[in-house]
Amino acid sequence: MIEEKKPAFSRSWDPACLGKSRVSRPSRLFVLYSFTMEDGKIMERTLSIVKPDGVARGLVGEVIKRFETNEMKIVALKMIHMTKAQAQGFYEVHEERPFFGSLIDFMTSGPAVAMVLEGDHVIAKNRELMGETDCRKAAEGTIRRDFATDIEKNVVHGSDSPETAEFEISYFFNKFEIVA
Ligand code: RTP
Ligand code: MG
């Protein structure tokens, strides 16, 4: 029997495979999450996560306020509590890094809030608002500088490129959950 091969994206956050196996990055892009407007704006979507430390410390509202006051529109939002397999798949690019095990323990330690943000250059804008990974190096006024407690427990995640955003958004949200 020939097994039908589904595109990688359909496997990414399919409830049928939650917690059962690692997920894979797509081998090619299926949908573009970035387009140029007539006025020259580059409208993009990006994935933001308020990590378990941010949720536990009651920082969800503060993070959302920063998005909303910076013209970053929330077009999807949900609470998540990742299993080890889900977190390992999400941070697959860091699999070989020495901090991988600790990062997975942290990301599965409690509930988090996943969001899709939409706006002009929103991928870079979000990274700017977040600040550098290591809060000691993050610029004044950034989320990580203001709230992170160390290089790992740094309150927020943000996609770092259009390709990453596409993978990460589809990891947590299907098209019916994104309300434009
Ligand atoms: P993120 O992916 O969560 O938005 O963070 P990032 O791009 O700023 O940093 P990245 O290099 O992608 O690292 C992912 C997350 O791993 C933890 N980390 N720990 N102990 C360490 O040296 C270390 N380095 C990174 C952080 O939680 C970081 O955000
Ligand atoms: Mg990263």
The predicted model scores a pTM of 0.85
Helix-helix angle 60-68:122-130, to 10 degrees: 130
92 C-beta closer than 6 A to ligand 1: no
Residue-wise pLDDT for 131-144, tens only, equals: 999 999 999 999 99
Q: Which of 154, 161, 164 to mutate to test the pocket of ligand 1 (most atoms within 8 A of CB)?
A: 154
Confidence of residue 21 (pLDDT cuts 50, 70, 90): very low
* Distance between Cα 134 and ligand 1 center (Å): 8
133 C-beta closer than 6 A to ligand 1: yes
Atom 1 (ligand 1) nearest CA: 157
151 C-beta closer than 6 A to ligand 1: yes
DSSP conformation class of 45: E
Question: How many whole angstroms separate alpha carbon 59 and alpha carbon 105?
Answer: 20
Atom 10 (ligand 1) nearest CA: 133
The radius of gyration of the chain from alpha carbons, rounded to an integer in Å, stands at 16
Asked if 80 and 15 count as a contact pair (C-beta separation under 8 A), the reply is: no
Residue-wise pLDDT for 26-85, tens only, equals: 444 444 567 777 777 889 999 999 999 999 999 999 999 999 999 999 999 999 999 999
